[in-house]
Chain A
């Protein structure tokens, strides 16, 4: 699998290269600023783009802008963005750029190599990966407000939280120590509560996560 890395810091780029190579990716290009990311991704058509959010020229959220730009040019291109700090807005914007093959993680998650590699594969496979801290913040937030998510039972929220992290039903069932059938029942109740009618399950799954994040 081919990957483009967007990272202007040498140390982080070196770390990412190590992890990606070990996971069997071929690094086709390194980009050092936002424009470079867009150009090289368009030129190489990789299977995955991994980019830092903070990039030149403004050293704020240029990497995110580039990722969104890339996804508008190459719809569905899997993108994983890394961030020094968590901003809910970033995750929401990213998910709005298309609901398949996106990931949003803290930079430091790279350090947990095995888990990070698993997350990479999930994004390449079209899944959604969100940093557990973003998700945890959402849970606290939803408790405070009158919204459909607040009406979910604790167990339903737990399931939604894990869905937001990009876990499959089987993985969630294993994590919570219940049967996969029970999880399917929970997810369908969650869709009902959030008013997500009948549509393909994968799509509803992402919609539920977006609802969860942006409410």
Chain B
């Protein structure tokens, strides 16, 4: 199966649709019971429970489809049935009323569970697990006195209003402690989050706490029916909108959509149009995912730019999943450990991407070795240039001097020696200009500008520190090539050269006022190779009649 929807995704969609349909159907059944039976309460109030259930079901299905790896969707969908059950005490069928009475306050516990489990759906800490357990206990066990000692219910054992009051007091008190614990846990978690995630989670948590606090503070959910109708409606709607807040929060970035690890395989087959790291970010729903590659030689670990990286180790919030192929570690996925439900999800992804990562590793390795070649070549050029100058050129000058001070030397010999010296000087300059080695890029380009037969406006910015030698010489040769081309081919009358360096990049612009329409000649092609070997880009804009701009960017983080 190379195209289309993978089987597991299809199963997921079908499953979600079935659950949604079930919630919808049961909701209609409940509405029918409310409207057609001799209901004790206005049926529209009871209808709010059904509306709440549908909202939970809808939000749950959306969350489920968007993040199959998270349990949030499942929790919310389950919540829909809790709401349907809670609404049943408005009916007149005794067994249904009994069920409704048992689960009346369960929706509040559910909201606490959702709040503490977002976004992974897992309760990560012991404190969170204890709090949620306490919330469910308060909702289910704490509710018991309120239906076995209350008058008129189907579950009544004894009519004891005092015990009902006491039970309600205990339930409220324990509930208040649980809510307080929830608030503390949410606060602590918010503080530990990165700012981007905090922006998403903060409004969500605040709304959740507000919703949870609202009910116990004003009245118990079981008292809703006795309360003024508008108040009841507001309370129910506030609670019902909690899952909507989660879905909105999940869609607002930070907790982006995740795909399935299985899907990765299909996506990887699309001809490599998407960056592997981007694919993993989308699949794992973690925008901070980074790939590291293990390359042979001294470099060890490098990132996708070919820059040496620290060997990855899991620390704090950064998790590391090694990628192995044929028993050899070839790379690693570095991810945000606080964001993902299960570490094995990343390990699954690591297995799926192993081949693709190996391919990318080879590309990175190639880039690193090309850069090494450029570096080695330049070092050799510097050596040759120095040797020619210090050796051969000096020797020629000495010969010329000896010829000059010797009586009777033919003028042709002297002229020939001088011509040889001139030629050698040009050659040495072409191999590697001494002013570049000794004085750096701006000085060398300035010297170049001085020798141009046309006017050159040169602007230099930020060269307090010299870039790496390979970057410097590449920048120089590209600039020289572009300047010479402007004179030789573009019939330019003026050149503007801009050299700008910041901490990350070295940018070069060579702009002329010539005839434009420049194609990539051999010179520029070899320059492009050089620039790309160092991980840079070279771009030429040359519309006919509009001059030519050669733009180069080289990474030069030191």
Which residues on A are within 8 Å of B, measured CB to CB?
9, 11-12, 14-15, 18-19, 22, 54, 59-61, 84-89, 107-108, 110-114, 137-138, 140-141, 143-145
In the complex, which residues of chain B have a beta carbon less than 8 angstroms from the beta carbon of A141? 449-450, 455-456
When the two chains form their complex, are residues A12 and B450 in contact, meaning their CB atoms are under 8 A apart? Answer: no
**Residue in contact with A87 in the complex, picked from B405, B439, B454, CB distance below 8 Å:** B439
B394 at the interface (CB under 8 A from A): yes
The count of chain B contact residues (Cβ–Cβ below 8 Å) is 39
**A88 contacts B446, C-beta separation under 8 Å:** yes
CA distance A18 to B435 in the complex (A): 28
Contact of A140 with B453 in the complex, beta carbons under 8 Å? yes
A114–B417 CA distance with the chains assembled, in angstroms: 15
The complex places the Cα of A112 from the Cα of B415 at a distance, in Å, of 9
Please give, as numbers and ranges, the residues of chain B lying within 8 Å of A14 by CB-CB distance.
398
Give 8 CB contacts A-B under 8 Å.
Answer: A9-B394, A11-B391, A11-B398, A18-B401, A22-B405, A143-B455, A144-B494, A145-B455
Interface of A is mostly: helix
Alpha-carbon distance A144/B449, docked complex (angstroms): 11
Any chain A CB within 8 A of the CB of B434?
yes
Within the complex, what minimum Cβ distance (angstroms) separates A144 from chain B?
2
- CB contacts (< 8 Å) of B402 on chain A: these are 15, 18
Q: Is the CB of A85 within 8 A of B404?
A: no
B439:A12 contact, CB within 8 angstroms: no
Task: Give the contacts of B441-472 with A (CB-CB under 8 A).
Answer: 443, 446-447, 449-457
Q: How far is the CB of B447 from chain A (nearest CB, A)?
A: 6
CA distance A11 to B421 in the complex (A): 14
Within the assembled complex, what's the spacing in Å between the Cα atoms of A12 and B393?
Answer: 9
Q: Which interface residue of A111, A137, A138 has the most chain B CB atoms within 10 A? A: A111
The interface residues of chain B lying within 8 Å CB-to-CB of A12 are 394, 397-398
C-alpha spacing A144/B496, complex, angstroms: 11
Our pick among B391, B396, B439 for the contact of A60 (Cβ within 8 Å) is: B439
Q: Which of B394, B401, B457 contacts A113 (CB 8 A)?
A: B401
Contact A84 B434 (CB under 8 A): yes
B395 in contact with A19 (CB, 8 Å): no
Are A114 and B394 in contact, CB atoms less than 8 angstroms apart?
no
Tell me which of B400, B401, B405 has the highest count of chain A C-beta atoms within 10 A of its own C-beta: B401
- Are the CB atoms of B434 and A144 closer together than 8 Å? no
Asked if B422 is at the interface (CB within 8 A of a chain A CB), the reply is yes
Q: How far is the CA of A113 from the CA of B451 in the complex (A)?
A: 25
Q: Which residues of B contact A110 (CB under 8 A)?
A: 397, 400-401
Contacts of B398 in A (CB 8 A): 11-12, 14-15, 18
Bound form: Cα–Cα A60–B436 in Å: 11
Give the distance in Å from the alpha carbon of A141 to the alpha carbon of B448 in the complex: 11
Chain B residues near A22 (CB-CB < 8 A): 405
| Known contacts A54-B438, A113-B404; is-contact A15 B450 (Cβ 8 Å) | no
Q: A85 vs B438: C-alpha distance in the bound complex, in angstroms?
A: 11
Evaluate contact between A114 and B453: CB separation under 8 angstroms. Answer: no
The answer to whether the Cβ of B390 comes within 8 Å of any Cβ in the partner chain is yes
B172 adjacent to chain A (CB < 8 Å): no
Query: Is there an interface contact between B455 and A144, defined as CB atoms closer than 8 Å?
Result: yes
Known: A12-B398, A19-B405. A144 touches B454 (CB 8 A): yes
B20 CB to closest chain A CB (Å) equals 75
9 closest residue pairs by CB, A with B: A144-B455, A113-B404, A111-B400, A137-B450, A11-B394, A15-B401, A15-B398, A60-B438, A108-B421
B389 contacts the other chain (Cβ, under 8 Å)?
A: yes
User: Is B429 among interface residues, defined by CB-CB distance under 8 A?
Assistant: yes
Given contacts A85-B433, A111-B396, A141-B455, 15 further A-B contacts (CB under 8 A): A9-B394, A11-B397, A22-B405, A54-B438, A85-B435, A86-B450, A87-B447, A89-B443, A107-B397, A108-B425, A110-B400, A111-B397, A111-B418, A114-B404, A140-B452
A9-B394, A12-B398, A108-B425 in contact; A85/B434 too (CB < 8 A)?
Answer: yes
Q: Which residues of B contact A60 (CB under 8 A)?
A: 438-439
Q: Chain B contacts of A59 at CB under 8 A?
A: 438
Looking at the assembled complex, report how far the CB atom of A143 sits from the nearest CB atom of chain B, in whole angstroms: 6
